[in-house]
Amino acid sequence: AAVPHAVAAASAPPHLVLICFPGQGHVNPMLRLAKRVAAKGLLVTFSSLASVGARLAAAAGVSAGGDGVPVGRGRVRFEFLEDGDPGPDLDDLMRHLDTAGPPAFAALLRRQAEEGRPVACVVANPFMPWASDVAAGEGILTAVLWVQSCTVFSLYYHHVHGLVEFPPEDDPEARFRLPGLPEMSAADVPSFLLPFKLLADAIITQFRTIGRASWVLVNSFAELEGDVVAALPGVTPRPPELIPVGPLIELQQQAGQEEEDAVRGDLIKAADDCVEWLDAQPPRSVVYASVGSVVLLSPGEVAEMAHGLVSTGRPFLWVVRLDTQPHLPAGFVESVSGRGAVVAWSPQERVLAHPSTACFLTHCGWNSTLETVAAGVPVVAFPQWGDQCTDARFLVEELGMGVRLRGARREAVREAVEAAVAGPRAGEMLASARRWSAAARAAVAPGGSSDAHVQAFVDEVARRARG
């Protein structure tokens, strides 16, 4: 017989289970949310596919099961689905998630109750809409964590409900407006919504079910995207309320948060000697370049980027994933040794926080965007597809934190880096970046806007769990 979920021993902390889509850009914000919530006294279980568990074990030393590790007043533990291996292809993965995910997640939830940790609430990723249905079927409260910007949420929402027609891509002059947002063009719309529709179906499904969750937490903060959040309730049909709880960055630089570093979400082992290398560079000298975990540059782009970075005459730290390293010019790593470092994966937040880092050449994934905002590092924005285009516009045009790089030609790379680090507007960009950094840190500091939202969420989960 099913074990009731909502009833825990009066003294036990409420138990929250997070279920995460398998991707670095999803694991990082989910795990950081896990730590924020645990720090306020909840027991949190982070779950995902078995393959994510294996990678976290190998790269970050995470071990599944047991009581987990203490974080603040609570604990974070890990448990993974028994779901088999979908392989690397995205279509196979999406199909696998839909078929193997629901029974494996239901089993995981039941196991919690049987082992004396009944689940008070599930936080799901909107890319796995079935997770909320499984939780609801077990009588468990649900929340979702939206891991992209509120701007992107609004664009998707308007599109899915037929409330906006985006201008054609071949008319760069045409503009459109949505509530609480500045004028945009087709180039600012996430590319999944335009004729190139890789994940469009998954996104549409998310928006059909997202309103059923009791909370929609978003990785953003009120001071950054307050206008779009405030405008959404005026839209018909009315979207769910967005609750900003970000930026979901690591807080290890703040006093008393050291234990956070004990739980890391790297799916690839980070080259920790990057920090020593940065220590040896002059202050604000280094160009840090990375295109995140999913963008694949073509062999030609990698070669142009290599020449471009060298031609800046500045030290650079470049993340080139192992699958891309064969495209580097022959002998490149040896030839730049000392002045340039190439790593397969970096401890990115430590790199951005390092005083030697001068600018970030980024693909503008939303995590990288928020991390550079929080660190106060100006950008060379080099978006490729999806929400990266929207985020690049936001960084450059709204926040005034950098310049755009269009295409990976070597001269363009050199000019863009120069403009961001030493050009006539570089001082202004650095000042903006530092102002936004202060605002981001204030939002997650005790009593800040996002910290208060996390506290309210935790209090409400606890109140409902105690019934």
Active site residues: 26
Residue 437 near ligand UDX by CB under 6 A: no
Residue 348 near ligand UDX by CB under 6 A: yes
Residue 388 near ligand UDX by CB under 6 A: yes
Residue range at the interface with ligand UDX (CB under 6 A); choices 112-120, 276-284, 304-312, 384-392 = 384-392
Q: Secondary structure of 98-148 in the HEC alphabet?
A: HHHHHHHHHHHHHHHHHCCCCEEEEEECCCCHHHHHHHHHCCCEEEEEECC
CB of 317 to ligand UDX, least distance (A): 9
Residue range at the interface with ligand UDX (CB under 6 A); choices 59-67, 77-85, 362-370, 413-421 = 362-370
CB-based contact 204:413 (threshold 8 Å): no
Cβ closest to ligand UDX, residue 14 vs residue 23: 23
Neighbouring-strand partners of residue 381: 362, 404
Cβ closest to ligand UDX, residue 45 vs residue 293: 293
CB of 23 to ligand UDX, least distance (A): 5
CB-based contact 144:125 (threshold 8 Å): yes
Question: Taking each helix axis from N to C terminus, what angle separates 150-160 and 200-209, rounded to the nearest 10 degrees?
Answer: 90
Cβ closest to ligand UDX, residue 48 vs residue 148: 148
Which of residues 83, 138, 188, 371 is near ligand UDX by CB under 6 A? 371
Q: Indicate left, alpha or beta for 447 from its phi (over 0: left) and psi (-120 to 50: alpha).
A: left
What SS3 class is residue 427?
A: helix
Which of residues 105, 127, 345, 436 is near ligand UDX by CB under 6 A? 345
CB-based contact 295:191 (threshold 8 Å): no
CB of 294 to ligand UDX, least distance (A): 4
Site string for ligand UDX, 306-325 (x = CB under 6 A): -------------x------
Residue 367 near ligand UDX by CB under 6 A: yes
Distance CA(302)–CA(388), nearest Å, equals 19
CB of 354 to ligand UDX, least distance (A): 13
CB of 125 to ligand UDX, least distance (A): 10
Distance CA(248)–CA(361), nearest Å, equals 21
Residue 250 near ligand UDX by CB under 6 A: no
Which of residues 83, 225, 260, 387 is near ligand UDX by CB under 6 A? 387
Residue 432 near ligand UDX by CB under 6 A: no
Which of residues 138, 260, 301, 349 is near ligand UDX by CB under 6 A? 349
SS3 percent helix, strand, coil of the chain, rounded to 5, is 45, 15, 40
CB of 286 to ligand UDX, least distance (A): 14
- Measured CA to CA in angstroms, residue 239 lies from 207, 322, 383 at distances of 9, 41, 28
Residue range at the interface with ligand UDX (CB under 6 A); choices 81-89, 201-209, 365-373, 445-453 = 365-373
Residue 88: partners with Cβ closer than 8 Å, 6 or more residues away: none
Distance CA(18)–CA(39), nearest Å, equals 15
CB of 349 to ligand UDX, least distance (A): 6
CB-based contact 382:405 (threshold 8 Å): yes
DSSP 288: E
CB of 419 to ligand UDX, least distance (A): 22
Site string for ligand UDX, 135-174 (x = CB under 6 A): ------------xx--------------------------
Distance CA(211)–CA(61), nearest Å, equals 36
Residue 225 near ligand UDX by CB under 6 A: no
Residue 234: partners with Cβ closer than 8 Å, 6 or more residues away: 179
Q: Give residue 283's Cα distance to chain centre.
A: 28
CB of 408 to ligand UDX, least distance (A): 17
Number of residues that bind ligand UDX (CB under 6 A): 25
Residue 21 near ligand UDX by CB under 6 A: no
Question: What single letter denotes the amino acid at residue 359?
Answer: C
Site string for ligand UDX, 263-302 (x = CB under 6 A): ---------------------------x-xxxx-------
Distance CA(380)–CA(233), nearest Å, equals 34
DSSP string, 342-411: EESS--HHHHHHSTTEEEEEE---HHHHHHHHHHT--EEE---STTHHHHHHIIIIIS--EEE--S--HH
What residues make contact with ligand UDX under the rule CB under 6 A? 23-26, 28, 147-148, 290, 292-295, 319, 345-346, 348-349, 365-368, 371, 386-388
